Structure formats: structure tokens, C-alpha cells
Amino acid sequence: MSSAQKPAPAERQRDAARTRAEILAVATGEFARDGYAGARVDKIADLTRTTKRMIYYYFGGKEQLFTAVLEAAYSEIRQLEGDLDVEHLDPVAATRRLVELTFDHHEAHPDFIRLVSIENIHEAEHIIASEKLSRLGSPATDVLQRILESGRKAGLFHAEVDAIDVHAMISSFCFFRVSNRHTFGALFARDLVDPDSRDHYRNMLADMICAYLTSPPLHRDGEELS
């Protein structure tokens, strides 16, 4: 590694991978900050050590660049989810752990949250058009599926729980806490991402999810109030 076999081209002047990666990183920040329409191709170029020409050279255009940003952001997330190992825990502890992981992840990646919000404004058109993103599964829901099943078998969880539903419940609070912190803070004078209340919200969500899973449902699905 340290041997100077290759004379360590201390500063390569031409490095396709690096240039591409730098554009992607800068674009991620700019799109997350200003939205798709608000982001400026010229500004993204200015923030890199290269020029606008290279954006078109590597990505083709603004739209494809945005798709590439989304693909990279989602890939990173899914990779982290894949490393998750909670199978050795009991169902309640495993659920708690999964909640905490989602909570921590969303908190640590506000740019990702913003990109997802922006993509929703565009009705997910880039995700739908992206083969790469369509192929991407979701390790989180697979893990959750197994946790819930074992919890049900052990008689700890009630029958109606569905993995994707529970994932939606967990995600919604973790996502909202970050995505809507500005309007919520402005209107209710409470900073949902205040570090001092972090543990409080983390525990609250885990409590709520576990309370839901372990309490018998109060209603009955399909019930009609005629």
C-alpha cells in the first residue's frame, strides 16, 4: 500500500471517477437545498473543480443528474439497512432496535429526507423511471416481516400487524420530525430536532410502536358504521 510501486501520482490531473463523484456530491447538496427547479446547473458546476461541460459529459443533463443523485442516496440507505442484525433479539427488543435505527438514520441524513420530499413533489417520476431504483428492494421491511412473525407466534403481538404498515408508521414519525421541523417549529414553537429532546422522541416512538403491536385492536377491520 505504502510502497511507491506506482509513483503515487500525488495529484492526478485527470480522474474520471473522482470528477464524477465530486459532481454527484455537490449536486446532492444543491438539489437538497433548492429543489429540482431551484437548483442551478451553473452553480453546481462552480462548486466543483470542473466545469458545467462535465455535468453534461458524465450525466447528460440536469434531469439525469437528479436521478443519479437519488439513486446514489437510496443506494447508501439500503446498504446501511442491509447491515442491520436484530434476529437474535426478542421481538419487542428487536422492534425497538429497528425503530431506533430508522430514527437515527433519518436524523443523520437530512439531505436524504429533503431529496425524498422533493421527489414526492415530482410524484416520484424519477424513481419510477429508474431501473436501478425499481430493482432496489427493502431490507428493512424484510427484517421487520420476520420480527413481526416471530412476535405473533410467541403470542406477544396481535394478529393484524402488517410489516409494510408498521414500517409506514415508524417512517412517518422519523421522516416528519426532520422534513417538517421548520414549519412545525415556526407554528408550535417546538424544535423537534433539538438534541435535548432527542432521547425523549426516540423512546416515545419506540413505546408507541410497541404499545400498538402488543395491545389488542380496539376496532374491527371491515366494520361498517351504517
Binding stretches for DNA (CB under 7 A): 9, 12-16, 18-19, 39-42, 49-54, 56-57, 61-63
Q: Provide the sign of the torsion angle of the four alpha carbons 29, 34, 40, 43, taken in this order.
A: negative
Q: Binds 208, which of its own copies, DNA, none (CB < 5 to 8 A, cut-off by type)?
A: its own copies
167 part of the interface to its own copies, by CB under 8 A: yes
Q: 32's torsion region: left (phi>0), alpha (psi -120 to 50) or beta?
A: alpha
Among 175, 158, 192, 167, smallest CA distance to 95 is for 167
CB atoms within 10 A of CB 113: 22
Applying CB under 8 A, among 75, 168, 191, 194 the residue interacting with its own copies is 168
139 part of the interface to its own copies, by CB under 8 A: no
Binding window for its own copies (CB under 8 A); candidates: 3-11, 43-51, 148-156, 184-192:
184-192
Q: Binds 155, which of DNA, its own copies, none (CB < 5 to 8 A, cut-off by type)?
A: none
DSSP per-residue string spanning 109-151: -HHHHHHHHHHHHTTTHHHHH-HHHHH---HHHHHHHHHHHHH
Q: Which is nearer to its own copies, 153 or 200 (CB)?
A: 200
Applying CB under 8 A, among 51, 75, 79, 172 the residue interacting with its own copies is 172
